[in-house]
Amino acid sequence: MIHVRVIQHPLDFIKPGGTSRGVLNQKPTWYLHLTDENGNSGWGECSLIPKLSIDPVDELEKVLADWNNQKLSSEELNESFDHARFPALSFALETALIDLKQAGEGILFPSEFTNGKALIPINGLIWMAPKADMLEQVKSKLEAGFTCIKLKIGAIDFEEELEVLKFIRSQFTANEIEIRVDANGAFNPQDALEKLNRLSAFHLHSIEQPIKQNQWEQMAQLCASTPLPIALDEELIGISDSKQKAACLDAIQPQYIILKPSLVGGLSAAKEWIDLAEERNIGWWNTSALESNVGLNAIAQWTFTLNTDMPQGLGTGQLFKNNTPSPLYMENGQVGYNPNESWSLL
C-alpha cells in the first residue's frame, strides 16, 4: 500500500506573467508525496493555469482531500478519478508513481541528462508587456546565451509587437536567433491571415495557436494558407480519446503540435499525441505548463529520452519566488541536471 500526503504549495511569480488571457501573479499547485512500505518515496506536481487548465478545482480539491493521509494502492488511486477530466492530476499521479518506482531520488528516467553529461536546448520565454519591457526581456535572454526565444503576443498593441520583432531582426538574423511567437488564441479568424502575413516578414520559426481552439475548420484554412508554420497548443486540451486526437490532426493538418503534459493528461497521453503527429509528418516539441521544478524535472527527463534536438519549452523553473530547490540549472540557453546537487522537498 502507498501512503499519500498532499501538500498545497501555490507558486508565486517573481514578476507577473502577461498573457492574452490576463496577468498571472500566482498559480494553484499541490505536491503529491507517495511513500511505500519499504520507505521509498515519490513526488508529483498537480499545477493549474487559471482559465486554461480544465481540471474542475472544487472536485480536484475533494479528490486530494480524500487521498491525503490515506493508504491506497496504485490501482485505487488511478481508479478514484476520471483522468479525462483531470489532466493535471493525471500528470501528478503518473510522475509520482514513476518516481516512487525509481526509489524517489528525483531521477525518473535515468539517462545522460540525469548523469550530468548532456543538456537540453530550450527557448527563452518573453512575457507580454509594454514594448520597452519586452525589449529588456529579449536583451536579457540573448545575454544569457539563448539562440531561440519565444514571445507572447496578442495582448498589447499589435503594431508595438511588430516593432519588438523588427528590433530583434535588426540585430540578429534568422540563422542567429530563432523566434517563436505564441498568440494564445488572441487573433480573430477574420484577420488572422493578414496578421500572419505581416509576422512572416520577420522570418519566424512558428506561431502557436493564432486563433482560439475548437474552430477546426478556420484553423485548417489557416494551416493550409499560412506563410509561417502554425503550432497547435490549447487545441489539444480536453481531447483524451486516441480517435479524437487523430481526427483533430487529420482535420487541421498543422505544421507542429506542442505538448504540455499537465494540460493533456500526463506523459503517456502526450506520447500518444507525439506518435500520431509523427505518423503524419507533423513536428512537435514539449513544454512545461509553468510547473515548479518538481513537474519541470519530470518533463525534462522524459523529453530527453525522446531524442529530439529541437529547442523545448522547459525554461520556466526560474519564474517563482518559492520554487523548490533542485539539481536543475540553466546554462547558455539550455537546461541541465547536476547529479551532485540534492533536492530540497517538503
Residues with catalytic function: 152, 260
CB 223 within 8 A of CB 252: yes
Give whole-number Cα distances, 104 to 41, 99, 252, 298, 317, in Å.
Answer: 5, 5, 41, 12, 20
Supply φ then ψ for residue 157, to 5 degrees.
Answer: -60, 130
Reference 302, options 273, 343, 270; nearest CA is 270
Q: Please name every residue paired with 32 in a beta bridge, in sequence order, or none if there are none.
A: 6, 44
**Cell numbers of 146, please?**
539563448
DSSP H helical segments within the chain, as ranges?
Answer: 57-67, 74-79, 87-101, 131-143, 158-171, 189-199, 216-225, 242-252, 261-264, 267-279, 293-304
Contact assessment for residue 204 and residue 181, using Cβ atoms and an 8 Å cutoff:
yes
| C-beta atoms surrounding 76 within 10 Å | 14
DSSP 3-state of 174 = coil
Residue 317 backbone class (left: φ over 0; alpha: ψ -120 to 50; beta: rest): alpha
**Whole-angstrom Cα distance, residue 170 to residue 166?**
6
Q: CA triplet 120, 297, 138: central angle to 5 degrees?
A: 55
